[in-house]
Amino acid sequence: MIKAGRDVFAGQPAEVEIRNEAWVHLWYEDKFKVACPPYESTEAAIDSFTATTCCPGVRVETDGRWRVYAPHGLSDVFNLVVRPNPVLAPRSVYEAKTAQWREQWPEFTVLERPAASITTISSVG
């Protein structure tokens, strides 16, 4: 699906990224030293993305209608604000990603991650 999507969206004015979140729990803890239980849904995976600005998801339902899932709303997306998501991702992951994003999109406002500990997926409910 990732390769097929790359071919379908080639040449578009925006990068479209397709990822398989079903396998994240198999490698996440080894890479980031934080446990990640298997996701029960696409929404559960989206809820754990590093920044709340990255959390919108879009899909076409079986009836052909588009469904937007944006648990933190879309204001930050349209206002170019990157806000840390307190769920799962360690500070180092947020800081590494936002450093890349600052280089690529200097117009973004990147909010610092608070010093408080992270909230794990299992404690979110």
Check pLDDT > 70 for residue 70. yes
CA atoms of 47 and 118, how far apart (whole Å): 13
Check pLDDT > 70 for residue 113. yes
Please give the model's pTM, rounded to 2 decimal places: 0.74
Residue spans of alpha helices (H) in the chain = 2-9, 24-32, 42-47, 75-78, 91-104
Over residues 20-45, the pLDDT tens digits come to: 888 899 998 898 888 889 999 999 99
